[in-house]
Amino acid sequence: MRITSKSNYALKLLVDIAEHRESGFVPLADIAERQSISKKYLEQIVPMLIKGGLLRANRGNRGGYMLDVSPDKCSIGDILRATEGCVLSFTIDPDDVFQFVWKDVQRDVEKCVDRITLQDIIQNKNGCYDYCI
């Protein structure tokens, strides 16, 4: 399993928005500056997150982005699916005697990333959360 920079930056973007949600719509330039990520790169990620139902956009002078779901309802799995199309992808040969192993690995990875939410990440970041797999 390899987490791409696209997914990693999407996660950072959504955590930042979740942490600043009381401010309303958060400008992309502010997120880019706080996270030290190119605004242009974030502009490429945002449409995937909107299409995935995770973000809402507001144009204009007070424009920016806001979560379209509660931080405790947005999982790492949701983010990976929105940016990568799936959580874990590999080709399984139907004749492979280890096919059952790879299917179990895929199922367990999906369970894990579907359990961890943006809220869990924020709490862990603030030292208020112990997560055990």
What is the CATH number assigned to the segment(s) 5-125?
1.10.10.10
pTM reported for the whole predicted model? 0.85
pLDDT of residue 10: 96
Which pLDDT belongs to residue 128? 59
Cα angle, residue 130 at apex, residues 25 and 108 outer, rounded to 5°: 90
Q: Give the pLDDT score at 87.
A: 80
- Distance (Å, whole) CA 21 – CA 11: 15
Tokens of 87: 């959580």
Q: Would you state the pLDDT for residue 2?
A: 67
CA atoms of 47 and 40, how far apart (whole Å): 12
Each domain of the chain, given as residue ranges in start order, spans 5-125
Percent of the chain's residues with pLDDT above 90: 63
User: H or E segment at 103?
Assistant: helix 99-115
Rounded to an integer, what distance in angstroms lies between the CA atom of residue 52 and that of residue 11?
13
- Pair 118, 54: CB distance under 8 Å: no
Q: Is the pLDDT of residue 129 over 60?
A: no
